[in-house]
Amino acid sequence: MAIESEMRRKIAVSIVAVGVFITLIVGIGSTYNQSGLVATGGLALVGAIAAFVLVMAGIGVWLSRSS
């Protein structure tokens, strides 16, 4: 099964974005972990999730317009 170059690019960009998100979540967890996630860490986690959703939406728009 051959994958077109455009689809490979979409897959690569998505994998990188998810990798950055996972790294960010782990970083927040290790930074704000003091016998559980403190309130500031919770806010950082919510901010990271919101940023991830917005970034993925932006990437989707960019990829759909560039093809």
5: its two tokens: 């170059």
Is the Cα dihedral 9, 11, 14, 15 positive or negative?
negative
Query: pTM above 0.85?
Result: no
pLDDT of residue 24: 95
pLDDT of residue 12: 93
- Residue 3: pLDDT band by 50, 70, 90 thresholds? confident
* Angle formed at CA 53 by CA 57 and CA 64, multiple of 5 degrees: 15
pLDDT tens, residue by residue, 9-52: 889 999 999 999 999 999 998 888 878 778 888 899 999 999 99
